[in-house]
Amino acid sequence: MENSEKTFYITTPIYYPSGNMHIGHTYCTVAADTMARFKKQTGYDVYFLTGMDEHGQKIERKAAEMGVTPQKLVDDIAVATESLWKMMNIEYDDFIRTTQPRHEKIVQKIFRKFYEQGDIYKSEYEGMYCTPCEAFWTPTQLKDGNCPDCGRPVEPAREESYFFRMSKYQDWLIDYIESHPDFIQPPSRANEMLNNFLKPGLQDLCVSRTSFKWGVPVDFDENHVVYVWIDALSNYITALGYDSDDDALFRRYWPADVHLVGKEIVRFHTIYWPIMLHALGLPLPKQIFGHGWLLFGNDKMSKSKGNVVYPAPIVERYGADALRYYLMREMPFGSDGNYTNEAMLTRMNSDLANDLGNLVSRTVAMIEKYFDGVIPAPDAPTGFEDELKARCEALPALVEKYMNELQFSLALGEIWKLVGDCNRYIDLTRPWILGKSPEEQPRLKTVLYYLAECVRVIAVAIAPTMPATPGRIFRQLGVEDPAMMTWQSIQSFGHLPAGLKVQKGEALFPRIDVQKELAALSGGADEKPAEKTAQKKKDVGMNKEKAPRADKEESRHISYDDFCKVKLVTARVIACERVENSDKLLKETVELKKGDIRTVVSGIAKYYSPEDMVGKTVVLVENLAPRKMRGVVSEGMLLCASDPDGKLSLVTVEDLADGGWEIS
Ligand code: MSP
């Protein structure tokens, strides 16, 4: 093998042909694309493979129903699938189709090799077969008489077949998995394979079929076609030209760095595939990562269950980057996550429109307003700037660590912490106040330079997940030099040259009217009529025709996500005075964590004197947008209880003198 350290080979499963791929399918491909782009960004020579798994009885039957040839059916679906990936901005290096001669020829060679070396023998199969999953099951493996994976009915199958002696490799595989803890991730999936399948004993696998024709013919026994999983798994090496006249790619990229697969096909990838490779004398992929499912109404999103959401309407309305961000941010990669339109729209509003979008537009607008659109050179930094700079410089290593663990959500979480820091920095330094006094010009220059540089760092860091957004940010910042867009350029702070001319553009992510969009999107859930009513009750996000009572109930409630957006912290009142010309307002100076001082204006002067206030530990809504009252900017709000007559009592925290504790 010539595989050097700086290559990275990543694959998705090859998809069964389906004219209507849903966002569950796009999940894995977006993850692979994000990872591939990240590895490229960090200097790797990357090869990213995806494709289609086009053989099997299911396709043969479907084509017959439609009155077309199986080849015509899969050709049409391949065109639709590639255009879906284009819409999602997926940049693969190869799209393998198992009906391509380059693949079929090598599968035949592989099958013959197994036969000639005694791994495969001919016998008779009798058992149950799940056609949708293309999987054989023994009667004891069935669940309530149905397929244990998808729950659908199985069919009895009895036919002459070739069998692979899986049992011969069982002990070797147990040993391999136990001595390579990174091989199957997350680790819980390794335990499942060891305890449920390998240790109880592997049965020999039926690897050919005679009852249908749509498959790779066994070239030494023409009644047989190769079992679809032997055919499909081989794609990871046939695409690289393994055992062909040109195997340069295979020599360069094999073994794969990671196969990303959904959790229900981990078994095929961590048992059959390693055994096939070992029998061929080839090294195993470094890792198989079994990700979770996108659920809809707590059930796996799947076309056969009729509870799917399609990507096209979402991409058309909010752009591929917004959907990609949501898919990568919302749930940890190994776990299942429930999808609702409402959660997606809420996240788009809070993270993209509010946090990121506002940061970029405020930064650019202030540079335009105060410095005629020219990014100023910074003056002397203070502690605030030192902290921001340290945050920026720590970011690449944190992102790299999480990305290498395929923890997309945590990597994005780190980037968004910096977005939050920048927004807080604006609130604390108040450039709009600095802009009023000429003597504050040097300070204003520093603040706006630091913000512009942070925005550049953020644009670079989001590029793998949101490939179309950085270009839009760079255009607004006036950054044209490709050297300013690289991973290398954010390893240390301050590479953005002063003097660039910013240019305000359209809002990156316009704010979404959630209720309106929910109504518009509710046509996107392709629910079966019988399930529709039950599902609608469960899922407010998809509910178009709400019953009046439900409507009332819903407007009374806020979502948990909305609640989580309110940041409540303890704050110690260190000074307090009356606001001039007001008999209602007190101006409190409060301290959160050491040194984090805020000014807050509260309408409690009738009930508390300034002296009463000093020394109290109160509860502050920390992330309320600043608001000016009687000429004083209030940075938050103190919580009070109000009795039936409107008398206010402060909410205080006993036994806690410190500020800055989060309340949850
Ligand atoms: N053809 C096989 C894979 C062969 S790989 C050598 C197959 N195809 S599939 O089209 O049914 O599924 C492809 C991938 O999509 C699987 O990894 C599967 O887990 C994933 N998903 C399908 N529905 C999904 C969700 N609802 N959520 C997340 N991923 C899901 O299996």
Contact (CB, 8 A) for 627 and 633: yes
Say what the pLDDT of residue 664 is.
65
**How many contiguous H segments (helices) and E segments (strands) does the chain have?**
25, 27
What is the signed CA dihedral for 536, 540, 541, 545, rounded to 10 degrees?
60
> How confident is the model over 465-481, as pLDDT tens digits?
999 999 999 999 999 99
Side by side, which strands form the sheet with 45-52?
Answer: 94-97, 45-52, 7-15, 258-262, 288-291, 184-185
> How confident is the model over 31-84, as pLDDT tens digits?
999 999 999 999 999 999 999 999 999 999 999 999 999 999 999 999 999 999
Output the CA 12–ligand 1 centroid distance in Å. 9
Contact (CB, 8 A) for 335 and 293: no
| CA distance linking residue 592 with residue 170, whole number of Å | 60
Say what the pLDDT of residue 98 is.
98
Cis-peptide into 255, omega within 30 deg:
yes
CA 169, distance to chain mean position in Å, is 36
Say what the pLDDT of residue 303 is.
67
Tokens of 163: 């069998």
| CA distance linking residue 348 with residue 315, whole number of Å | 12
**Strand ranges inside 276-434, DSSP E:** 288-291, 294-296, 299-300, 308-309, 337-338
| CA distance linking residue 611 with residue 175, whole number of Å | 72
pLDDT averaged over the chain? Answer: 90
| CA distance linking residue 217 with residue 380, whole number of Å | 74
Residue 560 confidence class, pLDDT cut points 50, 70, 90: low
Query: With a 6 A CB cut-off, is 27 part of the ligand 1 pocket?
Result: yes
Contact (CB, 8 A) for 587 and 632: yes
| CA distance linking residue 460 with residue 534, whole number of Å | 44
Closest Cα partner for 284 from 313, 255, 241, 326?
255
Output the CA 231–ligand 1 centroid distance in Å. 16
Closest Cα partner for 214 from 101, 67, 100, 56?
56
Query: With a 6 A CB cut-off, is 232 part of the ligand 1 pocket?
Result: yes
H-helix segments, 522-631? 529-538, 548-556, 560-565, 610-613
Q: Which residue, by CA, sits nearest to atom 10 of ligand 1?
A: 15
Say what the pLDDT of residue 575 is.
86
Tokens of 635: 């940075």
Residue in this structure with the two tokens 């100023």, named with its chain if needed:
376
Tokens of 40: 């490229």
Query: With a 6 A CB cut-off, is 294 part of the ligand 1 pocket?
Result: yes
Output the CA 15–ligand 1 centroid distance in Å. 6
Taking the CA of residue 261 as reference, the ligand 1 atom at the shortest distance is: 17
Taking the CA of residue 292 as reference, the ligand 1 atom at the shortest distance is: 28
Tokens of 434: 């600095």
Say what the pLDDT of residue 132 is.
86
Taking the CA of residue 18 as reference, the ligand 1 atom at the shortest distance is: 10
Tokens of 263: 């959790």
Contact (CB, 8 A) for 30 and 311: no
Query: With a 6 A CB cut-off, is 53 part of the ligand 1 pocket?
Result: yes
Query: With a 6 A CB cut-off, is 297 part of the ligand 1 pocket?
Result: no
Mean pLDDT, rounded, for 547-557: 37
Best substitution site from 12, 25, 97, 326 to test ligand 1's pocket, by max atoms within 8 Å of Cβ?
A: 25
**Strand ranges inside 263-398, DSSP E:** 288-291, 294-296, 299-300, 308-309, 337-338
Burial class (CB in 10 A: 0-12, 13-18, 19+), 433: exposed
Output the CA 265–ligand 1 centroid distance in Å. 8
> How confident is the model over 325-354, as pLDDT tens digits?
999 999 999 999 999 999 999 999 999 999
- Side-chain-side CA neighbours of 548 within 13 Å: the count stands at 0
Query: With a 6 A CB cut-off, is 391 part of the ligand 1 pocket?
Result: no
Interhelix angle for 320-330 vs 408-429, to 10°? 110
Q: Which residue, by CA, sits nearest to atom 18 of ligand 1?
A: 262
Taking the CA of residue 263 as reference, the ligand 1 atom at the shortest distance is: 19
30: number of Cβ within 10 Å: 26
Query: With a 6 A CB cut-off, is 260 part of the ligand 1 pocket?
Result: no
Q: Is the pLDDT of residue 160 over 60?
A: yes
Distances (CA, A) of 326 to 369, 463, 497, 540, 561: 33, 14, 32, 19, 14
- Side-chain-side CA neighbours of 101 within 13 Å: the count stands at 0
Closest Cα partner for 643 from 609, 618, 617, 606?
606
Query: With a 6 A CB cut-off, is 25 part of the ligand 1 pocket?
Result: yes
Q: Which residue, by CA, sits nearest to atom 19 of ligand 1?
A: 262
Where b means 16+ CB within 10 Å and e means fewer, 491-520 reads: eebebbeeebebeeeeebbeebebeebbee
Please tell me whether residue 238 adopts helix, strand or coil conformation: helix
Query: With a 6 A CB cut-off, is 289 part of the ligand 1 pocket?
Result: no
Tokens of 529: 């009529």
Q: Which residue, by CA, sits nearest to atom 22 of ligand 1?
A: 25
Say what the pLDDT of residue 562 is.
67
Tokens of 335: 């776990």
Strand duo 7-15 + 45-52: pairing: parallel
Q: Is the pLDDT of residue 541 over 60?
A: no
Q: Is the pLDDT of residue 324 over 60?
A: yes
The reported pTM is 0.78
190: number of Cβ within 10 Å: 22
Residue 550 confidence class, pLDDT cut points 50, 70, 90: very low
Closest Cα partner for 340 from 88, 543, 520?
543
Contact (CB, 8 A) for 227 and 209: yes
Q: Please give the span between the terminal C-alpha atoms of the chain, in angstroms, as a whole number.
A: 54
The DSSP output letter for 146 is: B
Output the CA 39–ligand 1 centroid distance in Å. 23
Quick one: CA dihedral 67, 69, 70, 74, positive or negative?
negative
- Side-chain-side CA neighbours of 467 within 13 Å: the count stands at 18
Contact (CB, 8 A) for 30 and 475: no
> How confident is the model over 177-234, as pLDDT tens digits?
999 999 999 999 999 999 999 999 999 999 999 989 999 999 999 999 999 999 999 9
| CA distance linking residue 415 with residue 421, whole number of Å | 10
Output the CA 25–ligand 1 centroid distance in Å. 6
Best substitution site from 131, 273, 293 to test ligand 1's pocket, by max atoms within 8 Å of Cβ?
A: 293
Q: Is the pLDDT of residue 539 over 60?
A: no
Tokens of 28: 């894995």
Q: Is the pLDDT of residue 460 over 60?
A: yes
Quick one: which H or E segment has residue 520? helix 514-521
CA 569, distance to chain mean position in Å, is 30
